[in-house]
Amino acid sequence: MNVYIITGVSKGIGFELAKQLIEAGHLVVGIARTECELNGMKFILADLSKTDKLDSLMNEIIEAAPRHAGSFTLINNAGMIDPIGLIGSVNVEEITKAVAVNLTAPMIISSAFISKLKDFPGSKRIVNISSGAGRNAYEGWGIYCATKAGLDHFSRVVALEQLKATQPVEIVSIAPGIIDTGMQEAIRASNENAFPLLDRFIDYKEQGLLSSPEQTARKLISFIENKDFKEVGPIVDIRNF
Q: Which residues of 22-47 are buried (b: 16+ CB within 10 A; e: fewer)?
A: beeebbbbbbbbeebeeeebebbebb
**Is 4 known to be catalytic?**
no
Calpha distance 221→215 (Å, rounded): 10
Residues labelled as active-site residues = 144
